[in-house]
């Protein structure tokens, strides 16, 4: 079973993906980390973020085993990731790796922007997690402050809006919900309620697809 989770920055899609992966004992890939690793490599090199050849080289050199999640989640890397993610050669370079991960025997959970539309349109379960920009900025702000970063809410909100516009407006694999995805808008939901909605949908899809038997009407065997 492939579970594809998409959504904008700080929507909580990563938490949903991680929890579903743990629940179903499936491997999980946060594909944002791949773009973040390319962005971080370009930042570290000091070169231009829009240097297509250098960004594609960094993408091809990527090693899944050596991603430092903590460092990649830091503030400036997200913006750099969003910029290199708009380069078609970068997306192409990361395609095989994501296809391989999605199509491993037994299935997988992947989260990102284009999982249900481009990477795994065949996924049995597609969920699009979203929330208002203000709610997402508030969460991201709290998270960054918790990590000791000195940053204001307005700056975070601006960053979220800019990334939303770039991720949704790019010509290649833009952030868009798949027609057959369940949309969970969690502006007014906490993490538990968001996960519960996702889990109920996965269970319904599993019954629909015959992966698990539907319960007998009287609840008996």
Judged by the rule CB under 6 A, the positions of this chain that interact with ligand DC are 9, 31-32, 35-36, 78, 81-82, 85, 112-114, 163, 167
Q: Nearer Cβ to ligand DC, position 26 or 114?
A: 114
Q: Cα dihedral angle (210, 212, 213, 215), rounded to 10 degrees?
A: -130
**To the nearest whole angstrom, how small is the minimum distance from the Cβ of residue 4 to ligand DC?**
10
**To the nearest whole angstrom, how small is the minimum distance from the Cβ of residue 77 to ligand DC?**
8
User: Tokens at residue 58, please?
Assistant: 């960094």
State the DSSP H helix or E strand holding residue 46, giving kind and residue range, or none if neither.
none
**To the nearest whole angstrom, how small is the minimum distance from the Cβ of residue 115 to ligand DC?**
6
Q: Nearer Cβ to ligand DC, position 167 or 195?
A: 167
Q: Nearer Cβ to ligand DC, position 104 or 204?
A: 104
**To the nearest whole angstrom, how small is the minimum distance from the Cβ of residue 124 to ligand DC?**
18
Q: Nearer Cβ to ligand DC, position 9 or 137?
A: 9
What are the residues whose beta carbons fall under 8 Å from the beta carbon of 94, sequence distance 6 or more? 31, 34, 35, 38, 59, 62
Listed in order, strand segments (DSSP E) in 47-195 are 108-112, 125-130, 182-185
Dist. CA 165–CA 55, nearest whole Å? 21
State the DSSP H helix or E strand holding residue 186, giving kind and residue range, or none if neither.
none
**To the nearest whole angstrom, how small is the minimum distance from the Cβ of residue 201 to ligand DC?**
20
Q: Nearer Cβ to ligand DC, position 20 or 85?
A: 85
Residue with tokens 């999605």: 102
């Amino acid at each position: 079973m492939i579970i594809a989770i998409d959504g904008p920055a700080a929507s909580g899609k990563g938490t949903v993906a991680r929890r579903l992966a743990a629940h179903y004992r499936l491997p999980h890939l946060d594909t944002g980390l791949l773009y973040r690793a390319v962005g971080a490599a370009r930042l570290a090199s000091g070169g231009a973020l829009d240097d297509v050849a250098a960004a594609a080289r960094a993408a091809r050199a990527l090693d899944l085993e050596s991603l430092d999640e903590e460092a990649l989640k830091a503030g400036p890397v997200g913006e750099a990731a969003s910029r290199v993610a708009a380069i078609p050669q970068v997306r192409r370079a990361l395609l095989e790796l994501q296809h391989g991960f999605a199509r491993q025997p037994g299935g997988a959970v992947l989260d990102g922007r284009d999982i249900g539309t481009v990477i795994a349109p065949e996924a049995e379960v597609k969920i699009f997690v979203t929330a208002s920009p203000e709610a997402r900025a508030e969460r991201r702000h709290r998270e960054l402050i918790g990590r000791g970063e000195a940053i204001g809410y307005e700056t975070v909100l601006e960053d979220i809006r800019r990334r939303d516009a770039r991720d949704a407006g790019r010509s290649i694999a833009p952030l868009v919900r798949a027609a057959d995805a369940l949309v969970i808008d969690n502006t007014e939901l906490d993490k538990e309620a968001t996960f519960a909605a996702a889990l109920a949908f996965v269970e319904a899809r599993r019954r629909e697809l015959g992966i698990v038997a539907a319960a007998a009407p009287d609840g008996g065997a």
